[in-house]
Amino acid sequence: MRQLLLAIIASLLLGSLCAADIVVVVNPDSGVESLSQDDAINIFMGRYKQLPSGITALPVDLQQARAAFYQKLVGKTLAEINSYWARLVFSGQGSPPRQLTSAEEVIDAVSNNRGAIGYLDRQYVDDRVRVVLAFTP
Amino acid sequence: MLRLHPCQRLRPVLCAPLLAMLATVAEAQPQPLDQRFSWAGFGTLGVVYNDTDDMQFVRDLNQPSGPAGEWSTEPDTLLGLQARYRFTHKLDATVQLVSRYTYTSSYAPQVTWANLKYSPNAGMDLRLGRMGWDIYMLSDSRNVGYSYLWVRPPLEYFGLQQISHIDGADAVFRGELAGGLAWLKVYAGLADEELPSLGSRNYDLKGSEVYGAHINYQTRHWWFRVGYANATLDQELDSLEPLLTGLNATGLPSAAAAADELGLEGAEIRQWTAGVVYERGAFLSQLMFDHSTSDSLTFPDHQSWYFLLSYRVGEFTPYVSIAQTDASRDTVDTGLAGFAPQLDAAAQAAAEASLTDQRSVAMGVRYDFMPKLALKLQIDQLDAKNGRSMLVRNPEPDWDGKATIFSATLDFVF
């Protein structure tokens, strides 16, 4: 019993250490200082593609962080996110964010486009982008 | 990473090539954002077993026939392809083709979409061309099995919707409101489809005028919608013509009035709908209502609703769903009972023919075992009062109205 308890505590600790500290970033010239989770849901789920400053939002996904990001954003698995987008795409309501394959690509896309918005692990953030939303790990 | 799943171990010969193909499309590289042309597809491979010989099971009223006391792949198997061309960030064109078993008694592909979409800003979308009829929540994606939990949308609710697309225009206006998102959609157009009709030429919906609107409000966990839709049928049902001619030929005002009440030509159908969806993490629930009135006894007034409840456990999502429709009974007074009882009886029979009081309870599970590929198993218990239903094909006079439907599907998108 005690061993089991230790094992659980150890795995929880390990889990939180390994869990990605994902942050949402925008272009420093976007006019956005911070973003609510509801705004982020509207933008990344294709419901309302506009930043609070009024410019059109251009969301991008980071392929390897998608599962963790959408779990934190809306509590859904990738299968559920794919299923959700299937409905929107095939009823003509839009297309999912473009999928990028590295944190560097996310920073490039966001720093080169005023309306772009992406997410990545906090450790890759630099002054070319601005953090507007963080999820408590 | 690709895991070996049970199907691969059990039936390598049958499944391996298919899965290899699907895996290839599922793992396809993402498309760059600045691409002008893009395409995507969806499909379902399905088998259905209907345990009664007394009626043919169909997915919706567009299908002319279905399995009775046997297995069939016809009701649910389909393939859809969509191509999109982006002219600018604000203007794009979409075409969608769907091949499924419909009123042509074949899988001949139909153009279900062909429209231009103009989005001047995040708060507005305007479309012109052919588009899905968005009468209920989820109704314009009802062929996309991968996008929902059931094997097929509940018959008693979605099955009564006879028009799947319109040629016309729609507009969406949206904005943030009190921490949520509110939007209004309005649309108008003409139908262009046919409905199989027992023992006569297909009923032609072509030229029927459709318009409607709905308002929506969505928050993180809730989505509410209220809508109204109106359809005015343009043509008469062939199999009704002899009866209508007979009634009018009597010269009796009451018989002519009865003919008018029974006929479909010019009849207006009005549908009020309301729906609510609640989603929180692994929990999902949907409840929808429809109150429908019409000018024709051949498409009787009715109320329909359904309720869906599900909870995801890992890659499995078990669900239960109840759907019901009840028709309002209206007798037709021909004034002929005394001297032309046969004609009167035919009129009464016509008024009764479409009355449907039916309920289905469905239980099933969706298994998301690979990216963009899901396996679903479902059992439906169907109960049609008095064995009378316009939601099934060719019900025998002695059918007790009960049936058990077993379904299995593989749903995918690419």
Residue with the two structure tokens 């080169």: A112
User: Average per-residue pLDDT in chain B?
Assistant: 89
- Mean pLDDT, range B153-169, rounded to an integer: 91
Confidence of residue A9 (pLDDT cuts 50, 70, 90): low
**Distance between CA atoms of residues B332 and B334, nearest Å:** 6
Instruction: Tell me if chain B has a CB within 8 Å of the CB of A55.
Output: no
Going along chain A, which residue ranges are E strands? 22-26, 58-62, 98-100, 116-121, 130-134
**Distance between CA atoms of residues B383 and B323, nearest Å:** 11
Do B378 and B150 meet the contact criterion of CB atoms below 8 Å apart?
yes
Could you tell me which residues come within 8 angstroms of residue A10 by beta carbon, excluding any fewer than 6 positions away?
Answer: none
Radius of gyration of chain B (CA): 23
CB contacts of A74 in chain B (<8 Å) are: 220
Q: Is the pLDDT of residue B33 over 60?
A: no
CB contacts of A100 in chain B (<8 Å) are: 30
Report the residue of chain A nearest B96, measured CA to CA: A90
Q: Is the pLDDT of residue B34 over 80?
A: no
Q: Is the pLDDT of residue A32 over 90?
A: yes
Instruction: Tell me if chain B has a CB within 8 Å of the CB of A92.
Output: yes
Q: Is the pLDDT of residue B214 over 70?
A: yes
Whole-number pLDDT of residue B338: 85
Task: For residue B275, give the 3-state DSSP assignment.
Answer: strand
Whole-number pLDDT of residue A19: 57
- Mean pLDDT, range B316-328, rounded to an integer: 97
ipTM for this prediction: 0.86
Q: Minimum mean pLDDT among B53-67, B94-108, B313-327, B339-353: which range?
A: B339-353
Whole-number pLDDT of residue B59: 94
In order, the DSSP letters of B287-317 are: EEEEEEEES-TTS--EEEEEEEEEE-BTTEE
Instruction: Tell me if chain B has a CB within 8 Å of the CB of A114.
Output: no
- Mean pLDDT, range A24-29, rounded to an integer: 97
Confidence of residue B58 (pLDDT cuts 50, 70, 90): very high
Do A129 and A26 meet the contact criterion of CB atoms below 8 Å apart?
yes
Could you tell me which residues come within 8 angstroms of residue B384 by beta carbon, excluding any fewer than 6 positions away?
Answer: B356, B357, B358, B391, B392, B395, B399, B401, B402
| Contact criterion met (CB < 8 Å) for A90 and B219 | no
Q: Is the pLDDT of residue B340 over 50?
A: yes
Confidence of residue B9 (pLDDT cuts 50, 70, 90): very low
**Distance between CA atoms of residues B106 and B77, nearest Å:** 12
What is the separation, in whole angstroms, between the first and last Cα of chain A?
Answer: 28
The long-range contacts involving B82-86, CB below 8 angstroms and separated by at least 24 positions, are B82/A89, B82/A90, B82/B39, B82/B40, B82/B41, B82/B113, B83/B37, B83/B38, B83/B39, B84/A95, B84/B37, B84/B38, B84/B39, B84/B40, B85/B36, B85/B37, B86/B35, B86/B36, B86/B37, B86/B38
| Contact criterion met (CB < 8 Å) for A47 and B218 | yes
Report the residue of chain B nearest A83, measured CA to CA: B147
Q: Minimum mean pLDDT among B75-79, B253-257, B268-272: which range?
A: B253-257
Whole-number pLDDT of residue B20: 47
| Contact criterion met (CB < 8 Å) for A87 and B148 | yes
| Contact criterion met (CB < 8 Å) for B282 and A89 | no
Q: For the segment B92-104, what is each residue's pLDDT rounded down to a tens digit?
A: 999 999 999 998 8
| Contact criterion met (CB < 8 Å) for B368 and A99 | no
| Contact criterion met (CB < 8 Å) for A89 and B280 | no
CB contacts of A92 in chain B (<8 Å) are: 94, 113, 115, 117, 127, 131-132, 140
What is the separation, in whole angstroms, between the first and last Cα of chain B?
Answer: 17
Q: Minimum mean pLDDT among B23-32, B196-205, B314-323: which range?
A: B23-32
- Mean pLDDT, range A96-122, rounded to an integer: 95
Whole-number pLDDT of residue A18: 47
* Helix B241-249 / helix B253-262 crossing angle, nearest 10 deg: 160
Whole-number pLDDT of residue B32: 45
Taking CB atoms and an 8 Å cut-off, how many pairs form between chains A and B? 98
Could you tell me which residues come within 8 angstroms of residue B24 by beta carbon, excluding any fewer than 6 positions away?
Answer: none
Q: Cα distance from B152 to chain A (closest Cα, Å)? A: 14
Instruction: Tell me if chain B has a CB within 8 Å of the CB of A47.
Output: yes
Greater confidence (B158 vs B27) lies with: B158
Q: Is the pLDDT of residue B346 over 50?
A: yes
CB contacts of A115 in chain B (<8 Å) are: none
State the Cα angle at A69 between A63 and A72, rounded to 5°: 165
H helices of B5-136, where? 6-10, 12-26
